[in-house]
Structure 1
């Protein structure tokens, strides 16, 4: 009987091999796009982001003759950078991408699909790693497209007033990359929160409060308020949009900080969100 049981286990291992990571990637890819909301959220948010930036550039182009000589001189490069990716655009990206990240996690738990997934693939860490890779790739491509198109369109408009800047301008590439990576960062944070909260409405509200409302409540004209504000992704994005000192939203605080510090905030939030998602799915059954 022992030999028969051993033979049966060996046969099971032979006919049911452990899934390869690429198989998990493909599975998570199909899951993501099986949600009709994914396509529409990405499409509508992309249109909203690009239109917000184009509208800002067009407003400056139209009103340029009405500006004072001092304001016209300030339009390049400082205002041109603001028009390349506006605060409204950043807000839209954070809201949309954190929601997509949250739904990718919460959707499975609300429908019970997670039980089927984990029954087929007991290695939960591998499943979550595949989900994170797919989400990071999709949202990075999204971010690169909207940031690149926004930069090109806005500066093409402003060039009609000789006020546009090129991607080769000092720190212009930093602005574009920082704006593009805001999308996967928000998505990963949404995934981390979703893995903890596991209800769609509560996760989206929490993400909005944490990423958008809380930074505005911090008084960055005071030292400790500025220190806390500088730990927030939205404020870090503002620092990365500075083409030159004093030309971006981050310049409104008397406490300056480096672009390296802003990149560190991006990295820490992303890593912590990934860690929360992986640990949470391994420690909790429901």
Structure 2
């Protein structure tokens, strides 16, 4: 009798197996898909970014057909197909959209109280954050790759009729296309870190805008090297360096970082953002 009672007690105390990482990914995907406004914003931003690049190049066709007169003492005008097909304005649109999406996935659960349910079902907070990082990073990387690839090939297809288009194997084109796509998930991870730190919609978005766009205005110019060094290691400065075309008439700072340094800086921002998100979520109460 006692043996049967013990067996029943052990059976009652048995628990379900711990969720696998694929289960966590599926759960995060369901959460993201249930908030249609979030991924629709990213999709709309991607279309807008592609449209900005296409419109910029299409508008330039007239100037390519009728280039400005050469100015004495300056080199002849040379159209920079790389700069115009991967414009900074379109990149800023994608950065804001991806960063906002990353922030919403974190602070949205705190403001709604969903985070308590999540951690009650899955006590492993690192696993939950890892699933969020992989999902948001993958989705924004896909969006960045689509915008970068479509913009480059479509714009240069238009420019081919004017014999100023570039191929993907020409110069730094491939590097620029990859960097243009890579900055999008990096901004999403930065947004996640800010969302975990601040846990407030307005504060997170405002901080994101200040970090990506306001701070570079404060750390620029060639007068003070230390200011330039700080500015060149901010997130959006890396994309400016990696998409720079040395065959164009444009110039960069005399203290501009190397290409390798810019890649390392971009990777460091991503790694630090993930680390901050994990540490903050693990140590702070819900």
TM-score normalized by the length of structure 1? 0.92
2:78 counterpart (67, 74, 80): 74
How far is the alpha carbon of 1:62 from its aligned partner?
A: 2.1
The structure with the greater share of residues assigned to helix is 1
Distance 1:217 1:21, change over 3 A: same
Aligned to 1:167: 168
Aligned to 2:215: 214
Distance 1:9 1:210, change over 3 A: farther
Cα pair 1:61 1:160 within 8 Å, conserved: no
How far is the alpha carbon of 1:68 from its aligned partner?
A: 3.2
2:172 and 2:11 map into 1 onto residues whose CA distance is 59
Aligned alpha-carbon RMSD (Å): 2.1
Q: Deviations 1:189-241 (Å, cap 9, x if unpaired)?
A: 00001000001111000000011111012123121111001111111100000
Aligned residues: 280
How far is the alpha carbon of 1:264 from its aligned partner?
A: 0.7
How far is the alpha carbon of 1:8 from its aligned partner?
A: 4.0
2:30 and 2:272 map into 1 onto residues whose CA distance is 26
How far is the alpha carbon of 1:257 from its aligned partner?
A: 2.0
How far is the alpha carbon of 1:254 from its aligned partner?
A: 2.4
Cα pair 1:128 1:278 within 8 Å, conserved: yes
Q: Does 1:238 align with 2:240?
A: yes
Aligned to 2:129: 128
Distance 1:122 1:225, change over 3 A: same
Matches within 5 A, 1:107-256: 107-221=108-222, 222-244=224-246, 251-256=251-256
1:191 and 1:272 map into 2 onto residues whose CA distance is 11
Greater radius of gyration (CA): 2
Cα pair 2:78 2:248 within 8 Å, conserved: no
SS of equivalent residue, structure 2 residue 17: coil
1:210 and 1:6 map into 2 onto residues whose CA distance is 60
Distance 1:262 1:119, change over 3 A: same
SS of equivalent residue, structure 1 residue 252: coil
Cα pair 1:220 1:229 within 8 Å, conserved: no
Q: Does 1:27 align with 2:22?
A: no
Cα pair 1:64 1:72 within 8 Å, conserved: no
Aligned to 2:42: 42
1:51 and 1:220 map into 2 onto residues whose CA distance is 31
1:170 and 1:181 map into 2 onto residues whose CA distance is 19
Structure 2 gap ranges (5+): none
Structure 1 gap ranges (5+): none
Cα pair 1:140 1:180 within 8 Å, conserved: yes
How far is the alpha carbon of 1:278 from its aligned partner?
A: 0.5
Cα pair 2:67 2:77 within 8 Å, conserved: no
TM-score normalized by the length of structure 2? 0.92
SS of equivalent residue, structure 1 residue 285: coil
